[in-house]
Amino acid sequence: MSVGASDKAFHVSWDQFHRDARALAWRLAEIGPFTAIVAITRGGLVPAAIIARELDLRIVESICVASYDADNRQGKLEILKPVAAAIAQAEGGKTLVIDDLVDTGATARIVRTLLPKAHFAAVYAKPLGRPYVDTFMTEVSQDTWIYFPWDLGLAFQAPIATGR
């Protein structure tokens, strides 16, 4: 879905995102322990840092997957940087994969082929993506566009009733 394709918008502040990521960490603490965390970039970098701190994980890796084009339309998936071989080879169910959002599940599916035993978690999940993550914090409708705090600047927000 591209920006503007939906009338539903979910604006997430830095405070709210931090609270949601910490709440996800509480859920994951009950499931762990984990030995390493893999952030799906770019969106998974911020929650991975928060969760790594909360779970005292020192091995932090990333996998770089491009799935949105310059116009924020989901397109062909491309792995720009794979997971380090040491993580991929040692992966025995103790690796935690983090993303900010699972939308359609396309990114999670491709990463799961590389780390099939990892525990996948996302802060936010949409219905089409839910089957591809093991743990998530908050579900939003498929037709909602999430505006993350790193995508926003401070500006006036019109009341919902005005429709503008």
CATH number for the domain spanning 57: value is 3.40.50.2020
Q: What does the CA dihedral 148, 146, 66, 126 come to, rounded to 10 degrees? A: 130
Around Cβ 163, how many Cβ atoms within 10 Å?
A: 7
Q: What is the pLDDT of residue 70?
A: 62
Residue 162 lies in a domain: no
Q: Identify the active-site residue in 99, 134, 143, 151.
A: 99
Q: Tokens standing for 81?
A: 């940087």
Which residues of 56-156 form beta strands (DSSP E)? 60-68, 74-81, 95-102, 119-125, 135-139, 144-147
Q: Does residue 7 form part of some domain?
A: no
Q: Are strands 74-81 and 60-68 parallel, antiparallel or unpaired?
A: antiparallel
Q: Considering 100, 134, 143, 151, which one is annotated as catalytic?
A: 100
pLDDT tops 80 at residue 86: yes
Active-site annotation holds for 103: yes
Is residue 94 included in any domain, yes or no? yes
* pLDDT, tens digit (0-9, with 9 covering 90-100), for 40-65: 999 999 999 999 999 999 999 999 98
Mean pLDDT of 138-161: 84
Residue 24's domain comprises 13-140
100 is catalytic: yes
What is this structure's pTM?
0.83
Catalytic residue status for 71? no
Across the chain, what does the average pLDDT equal? 87
Q: Is residue 101 part of a domain?
A: yes
77: exposed, middle or buried (Cβ count in 10 Å: 0-12, 13-18, 19+): middle
Does 21 reside within a domain?
yes
71, 103, 143, 151: the active-site residue: 103
1 pLDDT above the threshold of 50: no
Task: Classify residue 153: in a domain, yes or no.
Answer: no
Residue 130 lies in a domain: yes
Looking at the domain assignment, is residue 150 inside a domain? no
Q: How many domains does the chain have?
A: 1
